[in-house]
Structure 1
Amino acid sequence: MHDSPLKDRTVVVTGAARGVGAAQARELARRGARLALIGHEPVALASVAASLPTPALVVEADVTDGGALERAAAVVRSRLGPPSVVVANAGIAQGGPFASADMASWRRVIDVNVTGSALTARAFLPDLVETAGYYLQIASLASIAAAPLMSAYCTSKAGVEAFAHALRAEVAHKGVAVGIAYLSWTDTDMIRDADRHAVLRELRARMPPPLRSVLPPELVAARLATAVERRRTAVYVPAPLRLVQVSRAVVPSLVMRRSRRALPRLEAADRLRPTGLLGAGGRADDAAAQPRYPPNGR
């Protein structure tokens, strides 16, 4: 796509080792961008980089480590030039009742998804100011409609939505645009792992169509790449998510009514159990990390 405004622009994607992040990297590279892939899985990132049509830079960094991100930003700047686009995509999830959640994992979801996004923006903000660039925050349907049994994930995605709104207001006068991507279910390791748990599978199945449909990551990545090209304030995938945004004031009461009917049955069947961190990304994060919090948050 030689007419893309992304051609020869430096674009940073965090959490690009798999799933939506990897699909975004491939689509953005196809549109001519110079890619920098950041995460703490160098082997998986190198595999994604090798699949791209043009060479890409792989930089190992945990998004919750501000110092590591500052060093990563310096490497990207020196090797590829200051980024014009930063996509804060890194994220993890867990499921299950809050009362029995492992609070170390619960806090890790908040740390990766919220603090990691903020530290990513902080590390690359000087570059985005220099290039009058664009920051895309990957959010979720969970930013709009909090669901039972996903308290950490919903809290984190509501948090990144608020962060992106605040950041946009702060940097607009400097020429930096900030967008939010609201994504529904996508065919990733995380969602496939969630579907192994009956209660999360039923949670998705009870959503109205087309919101319960699982979308291919390539389709999602194409929509996101177009949003980046157009510096969109918001992008909804699938498009009907916009209707949930418009009606978000009534969503909590609707969710509560459904939960009051469904949860007692699931509880009686002993199906409300913690899932742990979901998917290969969650397992990789768990394996790579040193203990961060005392058990149960104490």
Structure 2
Amino acid sequence: MTSKEMPGDARHEPLSPSEERVADFAQRDPLRFATITAAEIADQTMTSDATVARAARKLGHAGIREWKRLCAESVDRAIGLDSNLRSQLSRLPERDEEGGQAIAIKRILSATARSLVDLGDQLDTDSFAEVVRTISAAGNVTTFGLGTGFHAAEYMSLSLERTGIRSQAMTGSGHMLADVFPRLRHDDVSVVVAPRLLTPDVLWHVEESLKRCHATVLVSSAAPPHDLAKDLLHLSLPSGEDASMNRMICTFALIDVLAYELARLAPTRAVERSAEVQKIRNRVNRSHRK
């Protein structure tokens, strides 16, 4: 949003040429703007941190963080569920086309299979092995996600528990993060599940995890900002043409592989926990038959 595109009848101070460069960058590449630091924005626009802050204020934002959040939301709308669904439907046969249903089933499942093959081909095995070692030695693992990412974070937490690793899933954005962050402990491993997009709240959680936790793992198809990437363990998801439809499938598949590797690394622990869970299930089943 530039100085010429203010909402409503709001009147703001005119932007200087350097501030205009910052605003133009936010409009031209909102995803990058939302996922890099103010210093990196300044570097990209040949300005300064102070210029970025002034541009945010003049455009009516409470601060740079709010501006970045709005940019992330605009990207989320642009590549949201409706546009994703329309794109996928355009590649499938019409309902009344002869054999259309069978063709659609084959194409959808073929695309899913290709995404899973891409996951296997593209996964950095060194990073994966390091994540396995780090989580296996953890005293506690916290998993975090927003939206559908939280469902994957819950599944990961349950999978870890079943291998004998203590874990809990968390979610929250905005002010709710004030309750989430104090739960992060210095001996925790924090796993952040953001399959599609690194929103400002996700990045904020990553930043806090890096400060508060023993190690931080990011599961995402999006590349983290350079200032965070050097301290992160990043498990990258496929980002090809078919990946948008199958990113969650790849996420759950990656969690399954991770859980099996953790069980393989400490089989006694995993078997003991599975046996404990099965005993409880058996008691529940007996009580229901009475």
TM-score normalised over the length of structure 1: 0.28
Higher relative contact order (CA 8 A, sep 6+): 1
* Larger helix percent: 2
* Larger strand percent: 1
